[in-house]
Amino acid sequence: MKLQRMNRRALALGALAVSGALALTACGSDDTGGNGSGGDASAAANSSIKCDDAKGQLQASGSSAQKNAIDAWVKAYTAACKDVQINYNPTGSGAGITAFLQGQTAFAGSDSPLEAEEIEDSKKVCSGGQGIDLPMVVGPIAVGFNVPGVDSLALDASTLAKIFDNKITNWNDDAIKKLNPGAKLPDLKIQAFHRSDESGTTQNFTKYLKAAAPGDWKYEAEKSWQAKGGQSASGSSGVAQQVKQVSGAISYFELSYAKEGIKTVDIKTKAAEPVKATTENATKSISEAKITGTGKDLALELNYAPSAEGAYPITLVTYEIVCDKGNKSDTLPAVKSFLGYIASEDGQAQLTEAGYAPIPGEIITKVRDTIQGLA
């Protein structure tokens, strides 16, 4: 754990050095929509945004899986609340948590909830309170592949575990053939890519492998990649780019990164038919999630082995991590205003268009109540 913490600190310091280049502001890059004047969706969202006394800069970092959602939210929010500048740096969940625990950011994005040790550490930053997990984004973790001549591919947990553990190394392996009897699988080496940075996406993907194929995946589900071998790249965008460019490649990333021609694996579950990675199918799975956090903490426990038809099993929830008490007085109004917007009905409605799924109604209602009580 100490080694992971050292890695997180190094990543966090590097993240701060480049945060200015990645600033998401009302007058910033094209990714954030400039002045937010383009599109009916933004205009509709703006009408419900409550700026209140929000002003100044919000520094935040963490999950790269939620970056596309953050981009959409910041575009709409900063168009309405012109006195607020939001700088979100997609450094990965591990680095984001470290920066938050060091008091460098107003909130962090993480694809996994805080661990017990991290909650304890947060009490040093959150005066009189602690860090809490607010579930805000649901996203299917797509498994993207690049196999020439193959447009559709079905894999199960056992086969995926063996591929990412270098037990299956060629695309015409018998195990893959059995799951895809109609496919013309080439005699081609598998190029399996994993995240090089600490990532909640990695932790959720390996939680799925461990839960659904315990006999084939012997590693712990951690934010840092535990298996030996394979190749790596930084961030969801990094591994997605490798899949796009490298023949024989396969990797995992949030569905919103599966674009520009990247094909995704259909996952074989206990259901009759393999399940496609879609936001609708992720919603079917996440509806079975249970709140396991205590007090104001809303950490969730996911079901990685659903049996319902159409329930996609590899999902993640991205949390916004914030102090329940002890937030800095100069940033608290902006934190409550921005988080209040993204948890609102209009904010959550933006997720589907961005390639994500909204948080189920009963849970997001609790998130809204918690945000109102932040101090």
- Report residue 211's pLDDT band, with 50, 70 and 90 as the boundaries: very high
Q: Per-residue pLDDT averaged across 117-123, rounded? A: 97
Q: Distance between CA atoms of 94 and 245, rounded to whole angstroms?
A: 27
Q: Which residue has the higher pLDDT, 303 or 220?
A: 220
Residue 169 reports pLDDT greater than 70? yes
Cβ-contact 45, 87 below 8 angstroms: no
Q: What is this structure's pTM?
A: 0.74
Task: Please check whether the two domains, 2-137+320-372 and 141-285, share a CATH topology.
Answer: yes
**142, two tokens:** 């797509």
Q: Is the pLDDT of residue 260 over 80?
A: no
Q: Does position 206 have pLDDT exceeding 60, yes or no? A: yes
| More confidently predicted of 231 and 259 | 231
Q: 114-118, 191-195, 196-200, 212-216: which range is least confident on average?
A: 196-200
Predicted confidence (pLDDT) per residue in 34-65, tens digit: 333 334 444 444 567 999 899 999 999 999 88
Mean pLDDT of the chain: 87
Q: Determine how many CB atoms are found less than 10 A away from the CB of residue 326.
A: 18
pLDDT band at 303 (very low <50, low <70, confident <90, very high): confident
E strands, the chain, are: 56-62, 84-89, 107-110, 131-145, 154-156, 191-195, 231-233, 249-254, 263-264, 266-268, 290-291, 300-301, 315-323
Highest mean pLDDT among 28-42, 269-283, 331-345: 331-345
The stretch 127-147 carries a mean pLDDT of 96
Q: For residue range 24-33, list pLDDT tens digits in order.
A: 333 332 333 3
Write down the domain spans for the chain. Answer: 2-137+320-372, 141-285
Looking at per-residue pLDDT, the higher value among 135 and 304 belongs to 135
User: Alpha-carbon distance 336 to 373, whole Å?
Assistant: 9
CA dihedral 149, 155, 159, 165 (to 10 degrees): 70
Q: Report the pLDDT value the prediction gives residue 47, as an integer from 0 to 100.
A: 60
CATH architecture classification, 141-285: 3-Layer(aba) Sandwich (3.40)
**pLDDT the model gives residue 15:** 39
> Which pLDDT belongs to residue 289?
86
Decide which of 117 and 9 is more confident.
117
> Is the confidence at residue 1, as pLDDT, over 80?
no
As a CATH number, domain 2-137+320-372 is: 3.40.190.10
Q: Is the per-residue pLDDT at 13 higher than 90?
A: no
pLDDT band at residue 278 using 50, 70 and 90 as cut-offs:
very high
Find the angle CA(147)-CA(178)-CA(312) to the nearest 5 degrees: 70
User: Can you give the pLDDT at residue 252?
Assistant: 97
End-to-end CA distance of the chain: 31
Do residues 34 and 27 lie in contact, with contact meaning Cβ atoms separated by under 8 Å?
A: yes
Of 72, 25, 70, 23, which is closest to residue 45 (Cα–Cα)?
A: 72
> Can you tell me the mean pLDDT for 118-146?
96
What pLDDT score does 26 carry?
32
List Cβ neighbours of 271 (8 Å cut-off, separation of 6 or more).
306, 307, 308, 309, 310, 311
DSSP secondary structure string, 32-47? GTTTS-S-HHHHHHHT
How far, in Å, CA of 126 to CA of 144, rounded?
39
Q: What is the dihedral of CA 134, 137, 138, 140, to 10 degrees?
A: -130
pLDDT at 248 (0 to 100): 98
